[in-house]
Chain A
Amino acid sequence: AQKVTQAQTEISVVEKEDVTLDCVYETRDTTYYLFWYKQPPSGELVFLIRRNSFDEQNEISGRYSWNFQKSTSSFNFTITASQVVDSAVYFCALSNYETGGGNKLTFGTGTQLKVEL
């Protein structure tokens, strides 16, 4: 069975602080994909990143960076110099790819990030 755990339900920071959102996953598959999505107050889901299980290189995109560590089954997300516009719920997800059966996602429960002035 697949499982994604986001232990932090809510985080509050002051603008310009760095913040890390934790994600721990469980899977028996050797090939899998991990995702982060952002859900701003308007409610839509915005795709941020996809990583495959064979690529443990950290990735940076502007103020966003992701740390994938297979040894600890973690895929953490860091926002540097946070801004008020970063306030949102962030979801980590794991793909359950089945040949011919699609690619359904297993989501964590989300971390609500509040960035205050």
Chain B
Amino acid sequence: NAGVMQNPRHLVRRRGQEARLRCSPMKGHSHVYWYRQLPEEGLKFMVYLQKENIIDESGMPKERFSAEFPKEGPSILRIQQVVRGDSAAYFCASSRGQGATDTQYFGPGTRLTVL
């Protein structure tokens, strides 16, 4: 029973390039959350998606960041024109439903380094 999958595990980009982070939720889960962990900090919520819909993007930076969760395939977090401050660990979590009792299970994270 596979858990939440994220790839790549490590990603290196130069300033100005694009970063694409992928997340495949656990089987049977249709709700995906993205969180960012800056060095020496806790995780901060970015965006919550259901299949084909963005439900809450209140934690997303206004520019350069976007997310999608298509009908088929993984959820994608896309960062355009990366800057050094984007260097962080990006975690995806999935849950079966959106209720308060639906625990979020996290993937291993993608560690983005911007040179």
Question: A residues engaging B (CB < 8 A)?
Answer: 4, 31-33, 35, 37, 42-47, 50, 52, 91, 93, 95, 97-98, 100-110
**A4, A37, A95, A102 interface centre (most CB from chain B within 10 Å):** A102
CB-CB nearest in chain B for A104? B45
Over the window 76-115 of chain B, the binary record of Cβ atoms lying under 8 Å from chain A Cβ atoms (1 yes, 0 no) is 0000000000000101010100111111111111010000
B52 within 8 A of A: no
Please, could you name 6 A-B residue pairs with CB atoms under 8 Å apart, sorted by A? A44-B109, A102-B31, A102-B98, A105-B33, A105-B35, A109-B41
B99 contacts across to A, CB distance below 8 A: 97, 103
B12 within 8 A of A: no
Question: B residues engaging A (CB < 8 A)?
Answer: 31, 33, 35, 41-45, 48, 55-56, 59, 89, 91, 93, 95, 98-109, 111
CB-CB nearest in chain A for B102? A103
A31–B99 CA distance with the chains assembled, in angstroms: 12
A95 contacts across to B, CB distance below 8 A: 100
B104 contacts across to A, CB distance below 8 A: 47, 103, 105
Give me the 8 closest cross-chain CB pairs, A-B, nearest first. A45-B106, A107-B42, A97-B100, A102-B48, A44-B108, A104-B45, A109-B42, A107-B43
CB distance from A93 to the nearest CB of B (A): 8
Q: Could you tell me if A101 and B55 are in contact, using CB atoms closer than 8 angstroms? A: yes
A60–B101 CA distance with the chains assembled, in angstroms: 20
CB-CB nearest in chain B for A112? B40
CB distance from B52 to the nearest CB of A (A): 15
Q: Once A and B bind, how many residue pairs between them come within 8 Å at the CB atom? A: 76
B35 contacts across to A, CB distance below 8 A: 105, 107
CB-CB nearest in chain A for B98? A102
Q: Could you tell me if B100 and A91 are in contact, using CB atoms closer than 8 angstroms? A: no
Q: Could you tell me if A105 and B91 are in contact, using CB atoms closer than 8 angstroms? A: no
A44–B95 CA distance with the chains assembled, in angstroms: 17
Q: Could you tell me if B105 and A91 are in contact, using CB atoms closer than 8 angstroms? A: no
CB-CB nearest in chain A for B111? A43
A87–B21 CA distance with the chains assembled, in angstroms: 28
Q: Could you tell me if B103 and A52 are in contact, using CB atoms closer than 8 angstroms? A: no
A106–B45 CA distance with the chains assembled, in angstroms: 7
A110 contacts across to B, CB distance below 8 A: 42
